[in-house]
Amino acid sequence: MAFIRSQEMTVEFPLYHLGARSLKKRLLAKSSSRLRDDANRVVVSALRDLTFTINPGERVALVGSNGAGKTTLLRCLAGIYEPVSGRIEMQGTIGALIDPAAGMDQDATGRENIVLRGMFLGRTPAECEAMAEEAGQFSGLGEFLDVPVRTYSAGMSIRLAFAAATLMSPQILLMDEWFLAGDADFLSRATTRLEQLVSDADILVLASHDMNVVQRWCTRVLKMDQGRIVVDLPVNDFFAS
């Protein structure tokens, strides 16, 4: 069975852009006082001592203001960032819908992008072709499926991204709230598909600002603030308080 167990997980971001990234600064820092060396390195504590367990069947909402660490936590669960201290243990296949446009090749056609997405997931070319067919029907892109993605409108890009990203049935589904964009007709079909995806998954972790979305999809709320979990309640208790 799928589960997520995090023990005192901490993630820190070094911000090299502000100082220490350039070689010159690094070399100069070596020869100057310690004070300056410290001042050159800016570290942001993105996640601090997170301890929680998510059991099968749970639909968890991550809420909190911008910069609270929601997306960073999703990326940790997706295996992109590894903890600086503490431990994370997960069981189950993971599907991450974090940034819809990422991994899309703007110069390739919609169909090629879906095939590519399938290959990212480790599928064979034959499976990928079948996926492209299915995603093409679902996205309703029609003949635009064989046109470079660069020429798509914003709404079309989102439809393609959504279709490509949901061509999987993971046990642990990690999602940022971008999926709410799109036109009304597509949104109704997207909702059906999302419901399917969510009900197939053992665990859903959803980062969201929208309390209607939280109330509709989730059973448990983790409220984050400055990298810490400040509230951890079942969804009904959360809205009651």
Note the residues at the interface with another protein (CB under 8 A): 10, 13-14, 16, 21-24, 26, 75, 78-94, 96, 98-99, 101-103, 105, 107-108, 112, 115-116, 119-120, 122-123, 125, 127, 131, 167-171, 196, 200
Minimum Å gap between C-beta 111 and another protein is 13
**116: which residues sit within 8 A by CB, 6+ positions away?**
103, 105, 108
Q: What's the sign of the alpha-carbon dihedral 161, 191, 96, 209?
A: positive
Minimum Å gap between C-beta 170 and another protein is 7
Nearer Cβ to another protein (154/184): 154
Q: What is the distance between the alpha carbons of residues 238 and 241, in angstroms, rounded to a whole number?
A: 5
CB 225 within 8 A of CB 45: no
Minimum Å gap between C-beta 108 and another protein is 6
Bridge partner list, 220? 60, 234
Nearer Cβ to another protein (138/238): 138
The DSSP bridge pattern shows strands 220-225 and 59-63 to be parallel
Helix, coil or strand: residue 31: helix
Nearer Cβ to another protein (91/215): 91
Count how many residues are written for the chain: 241
- Say what angle helices 110-120 and 125-139 make with each other, to 10 degrees: 130
Nearer Cβ to another protein (88/233): 88
Minimum Å gap between C-beta 41 and another protein is 13
Minimum Å gap between C-beta 80 and another protein is 5
CB 101 within 8 A of CB 178: no
Nearer Cβ to another protein (160/235): 160
